[in-house]
Amino acid sequence: MPYNQNLSKFPHLKNLFNIPYEPTRQDPLPILWCGLWTRGFASSATWQTHPSGQRRHSDWQVRGDRAHPSSQGMVCVKGATVSETLHKDRLQFPMMRDAIGQPLRRVSWDEALNRIVDRIQTVRETQGVDAICMYGSGQFQTEDYYIAQKLLKGCLGTNNFDANSRLCMSSAVAGYIRSFGSDGPPCCYDDLDLTDCAFLIGTNTAECHPIVFNRLRRHHKNNPHVKLIVVDPRCTPTAKVADLHLAIHPGTDIDLLNGIAHLLVRWGNLDGSFIQQHTQGFAEFLELIRTYTPDFVAQRCRISPTDLETAARYWGEASRVLSMWSMGINQSSEGTAKVCSIVNLHLMTGQIGKPGAGPFSLTGQPNAMGGREAGGLCGLLPGYRSVVNPEHRAEVEQFWQLPAGQISPIPVAPPGR
């Protein structure tokens, strides 16, 4: 989740509020988390503009930022065409109406903000603060998410904030918290260039996360020893370039993962020191996977025992295993259990906490991870903290200079509270 580090680097924000701003050729305008630059076709220090004086999307240019730590200058289709949205039916001024059947009318920012504040105050005074809620978006920048938490959870005192992560990432959130106690993926994009075994499950990365995949694929092609395993019932563009494609029967992900674990235990491909020092419940886990024999798993997943053993051998022999998954794992009634099963493989082999290794969830929208880091779900607070933890609430209250007890300990208020 690459995010903006210094808002002073974003003079383009002035353009979003219709404030004149003329960049120079040396004045790049990075506007997206994925490291895009947008800039008008410039002659000297001016933009090319339409004779009417209005800028059109054709007056803008998009190129990747080669210095960006994650995208490294690569641009996906969505990013390459972002300029088409800059002036196409975009809202430039606050618009308001008093009734749904009335036409919208342009109002000032003062009038719009006063209306919002008055409505919030009325609801808070008549129905209570938990009658107020906010739903965020993956299009939020990290700073937007943070200020929203400060407003809702700090100023108003309600945890009724949720966002797109509730729909696309809840399984990853719950799986990370259950396994590690915190929703913080222990990986980074540099790991794509360092792994020697990439295990992709429930993700068509080539089409859905092309920048990530192109970077991984480049590493894969340039290093013949690197293995790429793709688990997907379909033969996707991602699966077509894999060293091993496991076309399992839909819904048998946990069977496959436990079957790999069974073989790793049988072959002794474990990190005993890591298990002893950093895990709990390993004896119970051994009992769980005891029945996941190659024949049983192969029958359940409808793959060959040989392919299952190949996957386990690639994992067991690798020095650095990086697993990645997306909606194919998360969007499931067993999504949390599937995430924990992936994490279990990393824990039992010590494939975590080192370069090129770890369980890496791929988000469904651009800044879903940034939102979670800033507390963008009803049960979270900024910095991987939890609203149910009294120490975490006290830390945030002190940092925000709030009175003790201002942040509610209840993630979602019950009706009538």
| Residues annotated as catalytic (active site), given as ranges | 78, 168-169, 327, 364-365
Angle of helix 253-267 relative to helix 282-289, nearest 10 degrees?
A: 110
Distance CA 41, CA 60 (A): 6
Contact (Cβ atoms closer than 8 angstroms) between residue 254 and residue 341? yes
Residues in the chain: 417
Q: Is the dihedral of CA 200, 204, 208, 211 positive or negative?
A: positive
Contact (Cβ atoms closer than 8 angstroms) between residue 367 and residue 138? yes
What is the C-alpha end-to-end distance of the chain, expressed in Å? 36
CA–CA distance from 286 to each of 255, 266, 324 (Å)? 14, 10, 24
Contact (Cβ atoms closer than 8 angstroms) between residue 323 and residue 336? no
Residues in CB range of 250: below 8 A, 6 or more apart: 233
- Give Dmax (Cα) for the chain: 75
Tokens 């919030």 belong to which residue? 120
Amino acid in the structure at residue 320? R
